[in-house]
Amino acid sequence: MEQTPLFLDEYVLLNDAQAALNDLRLEDALAFLNEYRNLYPGGKEDVEERLRIVNFLQQGISALPASGPELPGMLLHLWRSFESFCGDSARNRRLPESLKPRFFRMITAAIEAESLTDDCFLEDNIPVGYIYLQTGQYSRAIRSLQTCLLTMQDNAALFGYLGDAWWERGSRDTARQVYFEACLIAPCAVDWRHLRDEELKGLLEILPDAYGWESALACEWFPACAYIRGIFKPKRIRALEEMSAFTESYRDIRKAFSGPSDPVLAARIFTGGIVLCDNEPFLRNVRGIDFADIRRDMKSAEPRLFAEYMKELDRRRLM
């Protein structure tokens, strides 16, 4: 009977330490962990590992300036270092998720204190909208990221974060449309680590084994595979100017394309061909692009996927 209070006290200390850590009250967390270590030297919990984490954060934060326009960006770099630090330990890989809300609120507070809320980017081209995304301010993130894209329309990472914001706001179709735009620029430049769309996430995970591709190549083929599975919908081009720009980019890829022996360009030829075929009426107004040649290049790029693509087109026609 006498052991019960001690058992409860042990976990009260651990819970208090975790709560303090989650709230970035690092001195309190350190005190609770040291007290636990002194009272329960044979405890099952790896307190030394937790102490290392608290010390890492203490040292990182103490090395930062108290203020200045560079502070928000430096805080984000510290967070990314912290994620990597925790990733080295299987026990603590989930720990960053519990600290993340408070840490990013701290970054947001620094942005506001430095009057950077209307800026598109922090130091090192970190989009302010990304910070809003991490703090659950999805509408604010969307506005900020859309503003960034007015001057950086070829930035796949920005489109990726914008897709995340739309998804978190509950607009699945819009999010997937934006993800597709990101993929048309550079699918491997998108930060897919925190993707919440389970269908897309599952597809990314199975592609390497399903087709025998290494991870980077699977990412290049990802948009075409998502289209074939009906996850990505057709991209509708509504202006001749947009069509001309897209076909010019497609021509550049086609000139460099030497066949299936160049798998990255093969993926881009295939995905670009999907978009062009979905906008066939516009092709009649663009010189040097032939519908039959597009289909032939797609088949040459990846015969297996081309067969799946044609089946998907038949399915869509019957809907």
- Determine the Cα–Cα distance for residues 189 and 274; give it in Å rounded to an integer: 20
- Determine the Cα–Cα distance for residues 84 and 88; give it in Å rounded to an integer: 7
pLDDT in tens, 197-214: 999 999 999 999 999 999
Q: Report pTM.
A: 0.87
- Determine the Cα–Cα distance for residues 164 and 171; give it in Å rounded to an integer: 10
pLDDT in tens, 5-57: 444 467 888 889 999 999 999 999 999 999 988 888 776 567 888 899 999 99
| Amino acid sitting at position 65 | P
- Determine the Cα–Cα distance for residues 108 and 135; give it in Å rounded to an integer: 8
- Determine the Cα–Cα distance for residues 266 and 221; give it in Å rounded to an integer: 9
Task: Decide if 183 contacts 156 (C-beta within 8 A).
Answer: yes
Q: What is the pLDDT of residue 1?
A: 36
User: What is the phi/psi pair of residue 129, to 5°?
Assistant: -60, -30
Contacts 24+ apart (CB under 8 A), 50-57: 50/17, 50/21, 50/92, 53/21, 53/85, 53/86, 53/92, 53/95, 54/21, 54/26, 54/29, 54/30, 55/30, 56/82, 56/85, 57/24, 57/26, 57/82
pLDDT in tens, 239-277: 888 888 899 999 999 889 877 778 999 999 999 999 999
Q: In which region does residue 288 sit, left (phi positive, over 0), alpha (psi from -120 to 50) or beta (all else)?
A: left
How far, in whole angstroms, is CA 25 from its chain's centroid?
29
